Amino acid sequence: MSGIAAVVKLRKAGYTDLTVYEKTDKVGGTWRENQYPGLSCDVPSRWYSFSFALNPDWTHRFSYGPEIQAYMEKTANDFGVTDIVKFNTPVTDLTYAAPHWRLTTGAGEVEQYDIVISATGVLHNPVLPKIEGLDSFEGDMFHTARWDHSVPLEGRKVGIIGTGSTAAQIIGAITSKVGTMNVFQRTPQWMIPLPQREYLGITKWLMRTFPALQKLTYNFYFKTMVKHFGQATVGDQKELAKIQEACSKHLEDAVKDPELRAKLTPDYQAACKRLIFCSDFYPAITSDNANLITEGIERIVPEGIKTVDGKTHELDVLVLATGFDATSFILPTKVTGENGRDLGEAWDGSPRAHRAVGMPGFPNFWMLEGPTGPVGNLSLITITEHQVDYVIAMLNKMRDEGLEGIAPKQTSFDAYNAEMQARVPTTVWASGGCDSWYFDKSGVPNLYPFSPDRYLNDMHDPDFSEYRLIADSRESDAVQAAE
């Protein structure tokens, strides 16, 4: 989705010599990759939309995956993005050879570009659990991002490892269809009810007839989500208390069995992990054919999963809801900047960036949804659009001043990240008593610790003193030759 936004906004700003590389056969990103039962978005549809392509025909307040994927494809087609995409063309290498970037594809093709924008997203490289015997399982097994729809579920013994938002949606969607649902829980999750509703035909008619209503609802959800969830995560104790109360009440009302409720009760602050919006999980896990298994997994055996209490849980299907590598971003593409600097080595499992978009030593290399950007329970489409505007400001600076390149100064990068690291302990992600996929190798949550409003405003007020402005060497050579 960030690539779609980039193409549309770059063209509008007058930058039309664009090429898009896509590793698979169609657009959509995470909504293309994930096709599991129950897939939905936890950001309201009216806000989870491109500002330039507001959709009056959303069917639900919180859209389901197939509808979002259809919206992504339609937007890409309507704005001519699909026309410039090289599909089934993964990029394996990017090397800076001033003043250009040399790009190499998986097929060995080499091209040269002035600017590179990484629009690879955050959660796209699935992680498999490091459990002994994983390859020995004789039933059907797959990761949630590689859902095998050819595998029947009806009446079968299904096991799912993981209890994050993906697992919660799947469990809520399929438990009533399977024979037995075995949920292997390492850590319980706080969940807040999803205030889902289906939009009536009159609502869609009104949105189509009066486009201003679309913008009004977009802004309403934008301000509401930022004010409540955005502020809660970065230290607003009043908003945090409201979230905790709503989660606790949801659990108490939905799970009457005290023993099961105790197993489902986290020992950390709500919103410490990414907050799960889900109304279907508790009814599913309390059904007669569902088992919540909290004993640790010792190993996987051909017939199922053996837990540390010595019990073997026989399974026909094993679903791995074990998430993604949140530290890879553009990796494993090899990216080499000035003086042979390797991006993967520079990050070393703890990716950082300047304002989430740039890296010192990598001129004219920009990232959308890069490290240390606002992520938690916000619309990444909105964040992406603001970041594209920031990149456009950099391109305009290059054009207006005849520059060869722009890259963050090391001192600016260091100061920016030091300020964020000093602020992180006051956020719920660090102080809430949990571990989560937000933490990287450094032991620090890889997130923006200030108000999302501050970040979005900064994206429209670039400080060029934070950057190396690289003069065009070709012009300098021409002047010397003339002299």
pLDDT in single tens digits along all 483 residues of the chain: 999 999 999 999 999 999 999 999 999 999 999 999 999 999 999 999 999 999 999 999 999 999 999 999 999 999 999 999 999 999 999 999 999 999 999 999 999 999 999 999 988 899 999 999 999 999 999 999 999 999 999 999 999 999 999 999 999 999 999 999 999 999 999 999 999 999 999 999 999 999 999 999 999 999 998 888 888 888 889 999 999 999 999 999 999 999 999 999 999 999 999 899 999 999 999 999 999 999 999 999 999 999 999 999 999 999 999 999 999 999 999 999 999 999 999 999 999 999 999 999 999 999 999 999 887 668 999 999 999 999 999 999 999 999 999 999 999 999 999 999 999 999 999 999 999 989 999 998 889 999 989 999 999 999 999 999 999 876 545 444 444
User: Do residues 407 and 358 touch, judged by C-beta distance below 8 A?
Assistant: yes
Long-range contacts of 306-312 (CB under 8 A, 24+ apart): 307/184
User: Do residues 36 and 200 touch, judged by C-beta distance below 8 A?
Assistant: no
The verdict on residue 231 lying in a domain is no
E strand residue ranges, 217-321: 276-277, 290-293, 297-301, 304-307, 312-314, 317-320
CA-nearest of 183, 159, 167 to 304 is 159
Q: DSSP alpha helices (H): ranges in 27-104?
A: 30-33, 65-78
Tell me the pTM: 0.94
User: Do residues 144 and 320 touch, judged by C-beta distance below 8 A?
Assistant: yes
CA-nearest of 174, 230, 209 to 43 is 230
Domain final residue pick, 291, 320, 349: 320
Q: 69: burial class by Cβ within 10 Å (0-12, 13-18, 19+)?
A: buried
Q: What is the identity of the amino acid at 118? A: S
The verdict on residue 208 lying in a domain is no
Range of the domain at 376: 2-123+325-482
State the sign of the Cα–Cα–Cα–Cα dihedral 256, 261, 264, 268. Answer: positive
Domain count, the chain: 2
The verdict on residue 230 lying in a domain is no
Q: What whole-number distance in Å separates Cα of residue 42 and Cα of residue 154? A: 27
Is 329 found in the same domain as 451? yes
Q: 37: burial class by Cβ within 10 Å (0-12, 13-18, 19+)?
A: middle
Is 152 found in the same domain as 21? no
State the sign of the Cα–Cα–Cα–Cα dihedral 174, 177, 66, 21. Answer: positive
Domain final residue pick, 305, 320, 335: 320
Q: What whole-number distance in Å separates Cα of residue 233 and Cα of residue 244? A: 12
The verdict on residue 364 lying in a domain is yes
Residues 6 or more apart whose CB falls under 8 angstroms from that of 238 comprise none
Is 369 found in the same domain as 274? no
Is 308 found in the same domain as 444? no
CATH code for the domain of 379: 3.50.50.60
Domain final residue pick, 266, 293, 320: 320
